[in-house]
Amino acid sequence: MSHLMNTYARLPVAFTRGEGVWLFDETGKRYLDALSGIAVSTLGHNHPRLVRAVAEQAASVLHTSNLYRIPLQEALSDRLAAISGMDEVFFCNSGCEANEAAIKLARFYGHKKGVEQPAIIVMENAFHGRTLATLSATGNRKAQAGFEPLVSGFVRVPYKDIGAVRAVGEHNHNVVAVMMEMIQGEGGINIADEQFQRDLRAECDKRGWLLICDEVQCGLGRTGRWFGFQQAGVKPDVMTLAKGLGSGVPIGACLTAGRAAGLFGPGNHGSTFGGNPLACAAALTTLATIEDDALMANALKVGEAIRSGLAEALKDLPGVVDIRGRGLMIGIELDRPCGALVTQALEAGLLINVTAERVIRLLPALVFSEQDAQTLVTLLAPLVRNHLAQ
């Protein structure tokens, strides 16, 4: 027993050490980590370059305050702008905070345009976080239950349905923005096709709406590009990041471009910890390592190896509805609930996740190798086969 609040259905394991794509529990048993803390440990565990950067920064200065200039924050904003084409960056500590900033920004934008009750179009099955505003934007009734009244100002449409977006635009003149994940993570690894992305960009331009891309899960090299939106060449006005940015050190970011840039001034938003020297050192090192070690190309190659390996190993099973994803963001959809697989995999020494009840979700570190992919397939395929045989 402990005094922890009961907010997580935790698995009965505690990891004491990590090495690359492996985690070790208190007994020394090792586990292949195909989840990386839900898309957080971009560089795997105990990466020497990250360990060194974090240790050196800790020995220099951990935190100062946003009351003062933070040169590492400035350097990180320049780096993020260079790889995304965005103009400005606000730093915070998590995905929900990044999205809160984006929501506030969209409302601010609306008010500047004379819209007194600004509304944001959001998608079914979206996940944007658990603060009140981001929970209200999230398309999951179960997560929202018991927390009403939710924050108003969100209009929900089916994912990838441009007709529904256009219909809302025709009738609701309070809309100022559309917020979406280019690949839904919690929603079950659902990919917005390139035509939808382009149509949505055109609709936002036509109506003067901001396009807000939540890249918290799919961003930062995981899909083989820096960001999910780069697949279709559709640039957002606002982008949010967190999870993999610090490879385990908490940091989030809200980026703006074009008409969304320059809106906030001093006093409009803030965060005590946001972008402190320690977090920025971790993020700069994460980005540099992704680039120097060609980890995006690796994500594409190894992701393909995982998908094709699983497709081959599971090809005779009609219960496998789909194996989809991009790079190292992979979903295996079954025709039935499969939450039990998480515990079975744990027993077999493999860390996976199940989301949307029937989708096995794999989000390995970007340092996963083709040999790791093979090990993953060898461990996972028999469990899926067994599950579907019951």
Give the integer Cα–Cα distance in Å for 125 and 139: 4
Which pair of tokens denotes residue 35? 């989840």
**CB closer to ligand PLP, 216 vs 282:** 216
Q: For ligand PLP, which residue of 95, 118, 224, 277 counts as binding (CB under 6 A)?
A: 95
Binding flag, residue 275, ligand PLP (CB under 6 A): no
Q: For ligand PLP, which residue of 33, 100, 186, 372 counts as binding (CB under 6 A)?
A: 186
Binding flag, residue 274, ligand PLP (CB under 6 A): no
Binding flag, residue 96, ligand PLP (CB under 6 A): yes
Shortest separation between residue 129's beta carbon and ligand PLP, angstroms = 4
C-beta separation of 240 from 252 below 8 A: yes
Give the integer Cα–Cα distance in Å for 79 and 273: 20
DSSP characters over 131-166? SHHHHHHS--HHHHTT-PSPPS-EEEE-TT-HHHHH
Binding flag, residue 102, ligand PLP (CB under 6 A): no
3-state secondary structure at position 51: helix
**Segment contacting ligand PLP by CB under 6 A, of 91-99, 270-278, 337-345, 351-359:** 91-99
Binding mask 195-214 for ligand PLP (x = CB under 6 A): -------------------x
Binding mask 44-73 for ligand PLP (x = CB under 6 A): ------------------------------
Binding mask 124-163 for ligand PLP (x = CB under 6 A): ---xxx----------------------------------
DSSP characters over 79-107? HHHHHH---EEEEESSHHHHHHHHHHHHH
Strand partners, 242: none
Shortest separation between residue 372's beta carbon and ligand PLP, angstroms = 23
Give the integer Cα–Cα distance in Å for 74 and 77: 5
Hey, what's the torsion of the CAs at 328, 334, 337, 338, to 10 degrees? -50
> Under rule CB under 6 A, how many of the chain's residues touch ligand PLP?
14
Q: How far is CA 146 from CA 141, 142, 149, 227, in A?
A: 10, 9, 9, 34
Shortest separation between residue 293's beta carbon and ligand PLP, angstroms = 25
Binding flag, residue 247, ligand PLP (CB under 6 A): no
Q: For ligand PLP, which residue of 80, 204, 242, 287 counts as binding (CB under 6 A)?
A: 242
**CB closer to ligand PLP, 94 vs 271:** 94
Binding flag, residue 361, ligand PLP (CB under 6 A): no
- Which residues have CB under 8 Å from 10's CB, separation 6+? none
Q: Which residues bind ligand PLP (CB under 6 A)?
A: 94-96, 99, 127-129, 181, 185-186, 214, 216-217, 242
